[in-house]
Amino acid sequence: MSDEARVKTKPEANAKALLPIGIFLLLYLGSGIYFEYIRPAEGGMGFYIMSVTVAFGIALIAAFLQNRSLSFDEKIHICAQGIGDDNITIMLLIFLLAGAFGGIAGAAGGAVNTANMLLNIIPARFAVSGLFIIACLISMAMGTSVGTITVLVPIAAAVAKNGGLSLPMCVGTVVGGAMFGDNLSVISDTTIAATKTQGVEMKDKFLTNIRIALPAALVTLAVLIALSFGSKPVAVGEFEFNALLAVPYFVVLVLALLGLNVFLVLLIGVLLYLAAGLMFGSLDLPTAFAAMGNGTSGMFETMVVTILVASISSLMRENGGFEWILGFIRRHFNGRRGGMLGISLLTAFMDVATANNTIAIVVAAPMARDISREFGVSGKMTASLLDTSSCIAQGIIPYGAQLLIAAGLTGISSLAIIPWLFYPFLLMIFVAAAILRAK
Q: What is the mean pLDDT of residues 242-263?
A: 80
415: Cβ contacts below 8 Å, ≥ 6 apart:
398
Q: What is the mean pLDDT of residues 32-42?
A: 78
Q: What is the mean pLDDT of residues 371-380?
A: 91
Query: CB 293: neighbour CB atoms within 10 A?
Result: 14
Residue 95 pLDDT grade (very low, low, confident, very high; cuts 50, 70, 90): confident
> Max alpha carbon distance in the chain (Å)?
73
Triad 137, 365, 101: Cα angle to 5°: 35
Domain membership of residue 7 (yes or no) is no
For residue 397, what pLDDT is reported? 86
Residue 7 pLDDT grade (very low, low, confident, very high; cuts 50, 70, 90): very low
Domain membership of residue 18 (yes or no) is yes
More confident residue, 347 or 117: 347
pLDDT, one tens digit per residue, over 287-299 is 999 999 998 998 8
Q: At what angle do helices 202-229 and 422-437 cross, to 10 degrees?
A: 130
pTM summary value: 0.79
Residue 118 has pLDDT above 80, yes or no: no
Domain membership of residue 83 (yes or no) is yes
Query: CB 235: neighbour CB atoms within 10 A?
Result: 10
SS (H, E, C) the chain: CCHHHHHHCCCCCCHHHHHHHHHHHHHHHHHHHHHHHHCCCCCCCHHHCCCHHHHHHHHHHHHHHCCCCCCHHHHHHHHHHHHCCHHHHHHHHHHHHHHHHHHHHHHHCHHHHHHHHHHHHCCHHHHHHHHHHHHHHHHHHHCCHHHHHHHHHHHHHHHHHHHCCCHHHHHHHHHHHHHHHHHHCCCCHHHHHHHHHHCCCHHHHHHHHHHHHHHHHHHHHHHHHHHHHCCCCCCCCCCCCCHHHCHHHHHHHHHHHCCCCHHHHHHHHHHHHHHHHHHHCCCCHHHHHHHHHHHHHCCHHHHHHHHHHHHHHHHHHHCCHHHHHHHHHHHHCCHHHHHHHHHHHHHHHHHHHHCCHHHHHHHHHHHHHHHHHHHCCCHHHHHHHHHHHHHHHHHHCCCCHHHHHHHHHHCCCHHHHHHHCHHHHHHHHHHHHHHHHCC
Query: Do residues 189 and 144 touch, judged by C-beta distance below 8 A?
Result: yes
Query: CB 437: neighbour CB atoms within 10 A?
Result: 8
Residue 132 pLDDT grade (very low, low, confident, very high; cuts 50, 70, 90): very high
d(CA 199, CA 86): 9
Domain membership of residue 215 (yes or no) is yes
The rounded radius of gyration (Å) of the Cα atoms in the chain is: 22
Residue 48 pLDDT grade (very low, low, confident, very high; cuts 50, 70, 90): confident
Q: What is the mean pLDDT of residues 269-277?
A: 91
Q: What is the mean pLDDT of residues 305-316?
A: 88
- For residue 268, the enclosing domain spans 14-437
Query: CB 218: neighbour CB atoms within 10 A?
Result: 11
Residue 408 has pLDDT above 90, yes or no: no
Q: How many domains does one find in the chain?
A: 1
Residue 340 pLDDT grade (very low, low, confident, very high; cuts 50, 70, 90): very high
Domain membership of residue 2 (yes or no) is no
Q: Is 238 exposed, middle or buried (0-12, 13-18, 19+ CB in 10 A)?
A: exposed
Report the C-alpha dihedral over residues 140, 143, 146, 151, rounded to 10 degrees.
Answer: -60
Q: Please, what is the average pLDDT of the chain? A: 85
Domain membership of residue 195 (yes or no) is yes
d(CA 253, CA 10): 44
29: Cβ contacts below 8 Å, ≥ 6 apart:
353, 354
Domain membership of residue 9 (yes or no) is no
Residue 1 has pLDDT above 60, yes or no: no
Domain membership of residue 114 (yes or no) is yes
For residue 379, what pLDDT is reported? 92
d(CA 138, CA 152): 9
